[in-house]
Amino acid sequence: MLNRIKPVALALFAFSLGGCIFIVNPEQGPLSENPSVERQSPQFPKRNPAFKQILYVDSIQGTDTPDAGERETEPFRTIAYALTQSSPGTVIQLAPGEYSEETGETFPLKIKAGVTLRGNERQQGQGVAIIGGGDYLSPTWGKQKVTILPGDRTEIAGITVTNPDQSGTGIWVESTNPRIRNSTATKSGREGIFVTGTGTPMIENNRIFENGGNGISLTHEAAGEIRDNVIENTGFGLAIGGNSSPLVVNNQIRNNIDGLVISHSSRPILRENAIANNSRDGLVAIGESQPDLGTETVSGNNTFKNNHRYDIHNTAQAPTLRVVGNQLDDTRVIGAEIQLR
């Protein structure tokens, strides 16, 4: 079926707040911040399964002394100290508990290349809470408040991260390629995860909820994969801007203000996502963005359901938005030129 919908004019303007760009429709409130072609999934570097070292950390029973850390019965006290003793291949194993300034942590926690920070993977970080934030001078966004700053080839697994600062970010990925899995990002002042520069993370099987701004934000030349996550109860589930081009697959994006806001010249590939019960729109496309929602050869297979206003709200100035092989209500699609098949 081919369905063309006439453009709807919207007055939009941009402003900067806490290092982020937002797009605003004066009548409807703030919206956060090239033709689409089929692309291969990004290739992530292979991990060596044989780790050189395990360092144990326990915020209650540990001590930060050089002779501690190598046995579970004699752990370090802080992640910050364990990081000073780590090298590529090290696993920093966290005991249950809270890791914060009150327990001696210094933020942001800068994870060295090739180091794994691991807590409780089976329960997505339940009971292993990293809470706090510190100043980070981003090459792309200036001064930020950040909890964790992962390096190349690092892994973050089985932790809960919170940055209570009003403009705080839980995990800030700046031009690196970490793997963030089986974790929880919640109750940060701005977003759970921010990806910028040329960052290419793998963000998989996490729960991201109740952050003050967005669940995950991507900007500049960011790419990578966002796969198998639950993103809910936040401002915008995913805010994808700049020239970013992530692969977004099999996520549940629900109960947010807007499910996805695609802006600037970004070109995300969206496949097999469930975008449901968002209080305004399921997907908003603005600027010169062009989300890939399916092609003649590969269907999008995204499901849009019970979004309060529109499933797809397209005000982008890019060529016709093609929506191929998705489940949605044709009557809940509005905006500039759209092809539905």
Tens digits of residue pLDDT in 145-165: 999 999 999 999 999 999 999
The tokens of 25 are what?
């429709």
Per-residue pLDDT, 2 = 36
Question: 255-276: per-residue pLDDT in tens?
Answer: 999 999 999 999 999 999 999 9
Average pLDDT, the chain: 88
The answer to whether residue 6 sits within a structural domain is no
The answer to whether residue 70 sits within a structural domain is no
The answer to whether residue 97 sits within a structural domain is no
Q: Are 99 and 75 in contact (CB under 8 A)?
A: no
Question: Could you give the number of structural domains in the chain?
Answer: 1
Preceding omega of 108 cis (within 30 degrees of 0): yes
The answer to whether residue 33 sits within a structural domain is yes
The answer to whether residue 31 sits within a structural domain is yes
The tokens of 259 are what?
């499910």
Domain of residue 192, residue span: 13-37+107-340
Q: What is the pTM of this model?
A: 0.86
Position 13 pLDDT exceeds 70: no
Neighbours of 153 (CB within 10 A): 21
The answer to whether residue 136 sits within a structural domain is yes
**DSSP state letter for 76:** B
Average pLDDT over residues 30-35: 39
The answer to whether residue 267 sits within a structural domain is yes
The answer to whether residue 18 sits within a structural domain is yes
Do strands 168-174 and 142-150 pair parallel, antiparallel, or not at all (unpaired)?
Answer: parallel
Give the separation between CA 248 and CA 129, rounded to whole angstroms: 27
**Low-confidence winner among 9-13, 162-166, 236-240 (lowest mean pLDDT):** 9-13
